[in-house]
């Protein structure tokens, strides 16, 4: 079916029927000029928006509409996770072109629906417009965090341990495989990490509730780049230990096959959406106990250091070298730092 035949309000009605009423009390949801919510007492509202633009953030040759819809939810929920918050509601803005069909938008919203169901957030509305440029999707997610538990990028202190959830570099390796036309069962995990990342909101919420991180950020642009943001906000330096970086077996196998260095993916590859956080030494034992008990999967990768050392990598042989941020930069022509 052609979108022009369905029309804007027909599409809105089609979307509304796909999503159930909000699980939490909402005075006014989809259908009016704006939604209305009741903020919880003693909580901060967290608001974030992150767009996915065709040809910039995704290539239709590598991702389905369902992938894009799912990923659009996760990348925004990841920002809420980095603040230690719980995601609650979201809005979706679409820039449609004359190339999309109703069936493709149905697939897009099937992915959005799955992502929202997994993260427990409710759709409250959004906007649909015609784009004369590329197709884009721009969610806005609203979350909450108790005032005393919010985590920012600015709280790290010299001597804090540096931890990261999950594994690093998988998404970047997955994209590299797709660009080379290599998509096999052996490397399915890496491709899936690129197409359908997982926002670590449960981990972020748990860490904040237990008052463990002094600072936290999600890894959207790459470890070196995002750690650089945390260092800048905290006005400190950092040292990463190369042999501590958590690398998955598929990443190691991919790097061996393609003749690439897995550390490059781990340091500079983006879109892992893991959480990077600093931990005061007095809280390290508490965190390590949680890791041992399987409450959270995290790895110590280094420490926060004096600002004068900048960002340093400690090699397995003990040598140290300065590294420059090499992740994604939206305003540079090629996207790289």
Task: Give the CATH number, domain containing residue 124.
Answer: 3.30.1330.10
CA 312 remoteness from chain centre: 24
Please identify, among 89, 117, 146, the residue that sits at the C-terminal boundary of a domain. Answer: 146
Beta strand 237-241 pairing with 311-314: parallel
Is pLDDT of 183 > 90?
Answer: no
In this predicted model, what pLDDT tens digit does every residue of 102-117 receive, in sequence order? 899 999 999 999 999 9
CATH code for the domain of 272 = 3.90.650.10
Output the average pLDDT for the chain.
90
pLDDT at residue 25, as a whole number: 66
Same domain, 168 and 218: yes
318, part of any domain: yes
Q: Which helix (H) or strand (E) holds 299?
A: strand 298-305
Greater confidence, 148 or 25?
A: 148
For the entire predicted model, the pTM comes to 0.89
Classify 81 as helix, strand or coil.
Answer: helix
User: What pLDDT score was predicted for residue 324?
Assistant: 83
Mention every residue, 6+ apart, whose C-beta is less than 8 A from residue 166: 200, 246, 272, 274, 297
Please tell me the number of Cα atoms within 13 Å of 186 on its side-chain side: 10
169 lies in the same domain as 53 = no
Closest CA to 67 of 200, 219, 171, 194: 194
DSSP states along 147-206 = TTT---SS---TT-EEEEES-SSHHHHHHHHHHTT---GGGHHHHHHHHS----HHHHHH
Residue 86 has pLDDT above 60, yes or no: yes
Using DSSP's 3-state secondary structure scheme, residue 318 falls into coil
- Assigned token pair, 43: 């909580």
CA–CA dist 95, 73 (Å, integer): 16
- Among 122, 146, 170, the domain boundary falls at 146
Residue 26 resides in a domain: yes
Which of the four pLDDT bands, split at 50, 70 and 90, describes residue 9?
A: low
Instruction: Please tell me the distance from the alpha carbon of residue 102 to that of residue 8, in angstroms, as a whole number.
Output: 11
Encoded tokens for 242: 């190369």
Identify the residue with better confidence: 40 or 283.
283
Q: Are residues 260 and 290 located together in one domain of the fold?
A: yes
> Of residues 333 and 20, which shows the higher confidence score?
20
Tell me the Ramachandran region of residue 125: left when phi exceeds 0, alpha when psi lies from -120 to 50, beta otherwise: left
Residue 311 token pair: 């960002």
Q: How far apart are CA 265 and CA 27, in angstroms?
A: 46
For the segment 189-202, the average pLDDT, to the nearest whole number, is 96
H, E, C per residue of 83-136? CCCEEEEEEEEEEECCCCEHHHHHHHHHHHHHHHHHHCCEEEEEEEEECCCCCE
Regarding whether 271 and 224 lie in a shared domain, the answer is yes
Interatomic CA distance for residues 258 and 253, integer angstroms: 9
- pLDDT of residue 200 exceeding 90: yes
> Angle at which helices 249-258 and 170-179 pack, to 10 degrees?
40
Does residue 207 sit within a domain?
Answer: yes
Backbone dihedral angles phi then psi of residue 197, each to the nearest 5 degrees: -65, 160
> Is residue 168 domain-shared with residue 278, that is, in the same domain?
yes
Q: Look up the domain containing 228 and give its range.
A: 161-322
Kindly state whether residue 336 falls inside one of the protein's structural domains: no
7: pLDDT confidence band, cut at 50, 70 and 90?
A: low
pLDDT average, residue stretch 252-264:
91
Residue after which a domain boundary falls, among 116, 146, 176: 146
Q: Is the pLDDT of residue 90 over 50?
A: yes
Predicted confidence at residue 337, as pLDDT, reads 42
Q: Once rounded to an integer, what is the mean pLDDT over residues 140-151?
A: 96
Q: Are residues 273 and 214 in the same domain?
A: yes
Same structural domain, 170 and 193: yes
């Amino acid at each position: 079916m052609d979108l022009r035949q369905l029309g804007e309000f027909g599409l809105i009605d089609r979307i509304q029927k796909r999503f159930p009423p909000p699980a939490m009390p909402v005075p006014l949801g989809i259908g009016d000029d704006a939604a209305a919510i009741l903020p919880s007492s003693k909580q901060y509202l967290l608001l974030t928006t992150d767009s996915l633009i065709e040809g910039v953030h995704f290539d239709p040759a590598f991702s389905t509409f369902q992938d894009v819809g799912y990923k659009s939810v996760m990348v925004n929920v990841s920002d809420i996770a980095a603040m230690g918050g719980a995601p609650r509601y979201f809005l979706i803005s679409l820039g449609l072109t004359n190339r999309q069909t109703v069936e493709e938008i149905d697939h897009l919203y099937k992915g959005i629906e799955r992502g929202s169901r997994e993260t427990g957030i409710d759709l409250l509305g959004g906007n649909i417009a015609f784009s004369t440029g590329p197709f884009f999707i721009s969610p806005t997610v609203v979350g909450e965090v108790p005032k005393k538990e919010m985590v920012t990028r600015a709280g790290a202190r010299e001597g804090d341990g540096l931890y990261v959830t999950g594994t690093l570099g998988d998404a970047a390796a997955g994209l590299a495989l797709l660009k080379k036309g290599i998509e096999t069962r052996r490397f399915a995990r890496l491709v899936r990490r690129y197409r359908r990342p997982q926002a670590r909101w449960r981990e972020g919420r748990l860490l904040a509730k237990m008052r463990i991180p002094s600072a936290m950020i999600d890894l959207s642009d790459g470890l070196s780049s995002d750690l650089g943001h945390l260092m800048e906000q905290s006005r400190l330096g950092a040292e990463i230990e190369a042999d501590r970086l958590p690398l998955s077996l598929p990443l190691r196998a991919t790097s061996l096959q393609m003749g690439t260095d897995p550390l490059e993916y781990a340091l500079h590859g983006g879109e892992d959406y893991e959480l990077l956080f600093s931990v005061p030494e007095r809280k390290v034992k508490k965190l390590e106990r949680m890791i041992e008990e399987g409450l959270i999967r995290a790895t110590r990768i280094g420490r926060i250091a004096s600002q004068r050392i900048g960002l340093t990598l400690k090699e397995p042989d003990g040598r140290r070298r300065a590294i420059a941020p090499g992740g994604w930069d939206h305003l540079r022509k090629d996207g790289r730092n």
